[in-house]
Amino acid sequence: MAAISDVNPFVSAPVGDNAFARITDNVSRIAEVERPPRAWYIAFACALGILSIFLGSIGWVVWTGIGVWGTTMPAAWAFPIVNFVFWIGIGHAGTLISAILFLFRQTWRTAINRFAEAMTIFAVMCAGVFPGIHIGRPWLPYYMLPIPNQMDMWPQFRSPLEWDIFAVSTYATISIVFWYMGMIPDFATFRDRATTFWRRLCYGVVAMGWRGSSRQWHRYERAYLILAALATPLVLSVHSVVSFDFATSQLPGWHTTIFPPYFVAGAIFGGFGMVVMLAVPARQFFGLKRIIQIRHLEVMNKVLIATSLLVGYSYMMEFFVAWYSGNKYEAFTFVNRAFGQYAWSYWAMISCNVLFPQLHWFKAVRTNPIATLIIGMFINVGMWFERFVIICTSLTRDFLPSSWGYFIPTKIDFMTLGGSFGLFFTLFLLFCRYLPMVAMAEVKAFHPSAHAHEPDHPVEHTGQAPVGI
């Protein structure tokens, strides 16, 4: 990393005669600098390469049909749905950080909420691709929407898959609105600092003439609070609805009532894993160590412990009730998960999701960025395997042994999975380059010097400052 920081233009201290100006400078110059660090170019080139694999493999799937995947009976859902649930889960952390932690008055969220929200949107985009191509005829998705058509037919609203359409599109819409609304004041800052015509025009248009009027701030804050209050149950509902896709069925291992909260906990877990995975390099390469501090990583790692335990609790409850219910199929399914043909994926899931994150109980581990990064990666692997275990073990071992099977992914399966990371990282890197990566206005609002109400009294720092500059 030392070699890269040689060319990093962000290592110098931010400019400004007061804390607010320094925050502005620290965040804004990431988007203002003419040449981003070399690491950004390298990463962007890699991301574009992977993206082209993604587009190529999707093109191939659409051109030849989904038979090029290993997805076939009995594993009719397999990779595409595993990937869909995986990405939609990643997309939960952003709204969780922006909305739920906002309602819980967790000021540390200001350091990471913006790029977590961006991550949410990009993850939901990646997620949306998979059901889109898995339907086999990606040119007919409008069948799923309630629009009058020549067939005189309407969508089936009693189907959980139809609920998914509404849940995911609502989630995407509200997340974008929430994200964009949060960025308006920061776009205004960019506009006012712009030195070229085009920057001023572009940021000016998206800032919509925001000038920081207090009367506007008043309605803005109210709207933001309401959006947070709406987004909080929304974020719970999205993965709950995804879990309904499974849990409304009668398939052993799918039909269990704990699925909704279990999926939500898993989604938050996976999403936070992705946030720490992105936060560590972002603070390293973009000189944001003053804003995204070790302290923030530590708090996120604590959230990871908590959600890891919630996920572990669900695994345990499923096992216990599989036995307790006295249902032979259910009991078989869980023994089969742990010791059957997909045991390797089950134990990968258990170790990545339940065992490794426990290392964060040690302060030395959870305050170490490298360890944070590695455990974050493990968590993402583990959460992918969780969906794989749920989908593949249950589908390939249902009630009738005559319809048992074994799912074997093909090259194209791996290319679409891997390639989706290309889409994600390309968008994310563009975001880092051109948009405000940190919610400046919020960081300033929670800075100790924003609370110097009575200038006659010295500012008292109660507790640790949310942001150190």
Partner 1 sequence: MSDSHEPQASESGPAPLHGLLAEYTTTGDILRASKKVRDAGFSRWDTFTPFPVHGIDRAMGIRMTILPWIVLGAGLTGLGTAILLQWWTNAYDYPWLISGKPLWSIPANVPIMFELTVLIGGVTAFIAMLVLNNLPMPAHPLDQVKRFARATDDRFFLLIEAADPKFDADATRALLDSTRPHAIESILEDRKTSDKLPTGIIYALVIATVASAVPFALAAKARYTKSRSTRIHLIQDMDAQPKYKAQRENPVFADGRSTRVPDPETVAVGELHEDDHFYRGTQNGAFARTFPPTFRVDETAMLRGEQRFGIYCTPCHGFGAEGNGMVAKRAEELAQGTWTPPSNLTDQRIRDMPVGEIFNTITHGIRNMPAYGPQIPTSDRWAIILYLRALERSHAAKIADLAPAERTGL
Partner 2 sequence: MATAKKDPKKSPTGTKTGTSAAKAEGAAKKTSEPDDAAARVAVEGFADSIRLGTESSAMFAKAGGLAVVCLAVSAALGASEGDGFKRWSYGYIAAFGVALAITAGSLFWVCLQHLVNAKWSVVVRRIGELFAANMPLLAILALPVVVPVVLGNGVVYEWADKTKVASEEILKHKSGYLNPGFFLVRMLFYFGFWSILARYYLNSSRRQDETGGSEIAPTMTRVSGPAMIAFGLTITFCSIDLFMAVEPRWFSTMFGVYFFASCVLGVHVTLILTLMWLQRRGRLATTITTEHYHDLGKMLFAFVIFWAYIGFSQFMLIWYANLPEETAWFKQRFFGGWGAVSWTLVFGHFVIPFFGLLSRHIKRSKALLAFWCFWMLAMIYIDMYWLVLPAINVEPDVRAMDLLALLGLLSALVAGAAREAGKKNLIPTKDPRLEQSLAFENI
Choose, by CB under 8 A, the member of 41, 361, 362, 406 that binds partner 2.
361
Report if residue 468 touches partner 2, rule: CB under 8 A. Answer: no
Binding partner of 325, given partner 1, partner 2, none, CB within 5-8 angstroms per partner class: partner 2
Residue 6 vs 460, nearer CB to partner 2: 460
16 Rama sector, left if φ>0, alpha if ψ -120 to 50, beta otherwise: left
| Cβ neighbour number for residue 329 with a 10 Å cutoff | 16
The structure tokens listed for 86 are 């995986």
**Interacting residues of 235 by C-beta distance below 8 A, sequence separation 6+:** 92, 95, 96, 99, 100, 171, 264
Question: What does the buried/exposed string (b/e) look like for 105-119 if buried means 16 or more CB atoms within 10 Å of the residue's CB?
Answer: eebbbbbbbbbbbbb
Cis ω before 160 (30° cut-off from 0): no
Choose, by CB under 8 A, the member of 166, 180, 217, 313 that binds partner 2.
313
Choose one: 79-87, 91-99, 246-254, 342-350; the region binding partner 2 (CB under 8 A): 246-254
Report if residue 240 touches partner 2, rule: CB under 8 A. Answer: yes
**Residues facing 72 on adjacent strands:** 75
Binding partner of 394, given partner 2, partner 1, none, CB within 5-8 angstroms per partner class: none
Smallest distance from partner 2 to CB 432, Å: 27
Binding partner of 326, given partner 1, partner 2, none, CB within 5-8 angstroms per partner class: partner 2
d(CA 443, CA 439): 6
Smallest distance from partner 1 to CB 149, Å: 9
Contact criterion met (CB below 8 Å) for 282 and 437: yes
C-alpha distance from residue 467 to each of 108, 198, 291, 304, 448 (Å): 8, 32, 6, 22, 8
- Please give the biggest Cα pair distance in the chain: 82
Report if residue 455 touches partner 2, rule: CB under 8 A. Answer: no
Residue 40 vs 244, nearer CB to partner 2: 244
Report if residue 255 touches partner 2, rule: CB under 8 A. Answer: yes
Coil, helix or strand for 436?
A: coil
Contact criterion met (CB below 8 Å) for 132 and 190: no
Contact criterion met (CB below 8 Å) for 447 and 465: yes
Report if residue 295 touches partner 2, rule: CB under 8 A. Answer: no
Choose, by CB under 8 A, the member of 324, 339, 362, 406 that binds partner 2.
324
Binding partner of 24, given partner 1, partner 2, none, CB within 5-8 angstroms per partner class: partner 1
d(CA 258, CA 265): 11
d(CA 312, CA 469): 39
Choose one: 21-29, 272-280, 345-353, 449-457; the region binding partner 2 (CB under 8 A): 449-457
Smallest distance from partner 1 to CB 287, Å: 19
C-alpha distance from residue 226 to each of 221, 313, 434 (Å): 9, 32, 28
Report if residue 170 touches partner 2, rule: CB under 8 A. Answer: no
Choose one: 188-196, 269-277, 310-318, 404-412; the region binding partner 2 (CB under 8 A): 310-318
Q: Crossing angle, helix 369-388 and helix 294-324, to 10 degrees? A: 30
Smallest distance from partner 1 to CB 32, Å: 13
Residue 313 vs 414, nearer CB to partner 2: 313
Smallest distance from partner 1 to CB 96, Å: 15
Smallest distance from partner 2 to CB 322, Å: 9
Residues that bind partner 2 (CB under 8 A): 105-107, 221, 225, 233, 236, 240, 244, 247-250, 255-261, 305, 309, 313-314, 317-318, 321, 324-327, 361, 446, 451, 453, 457, 460, 462-463
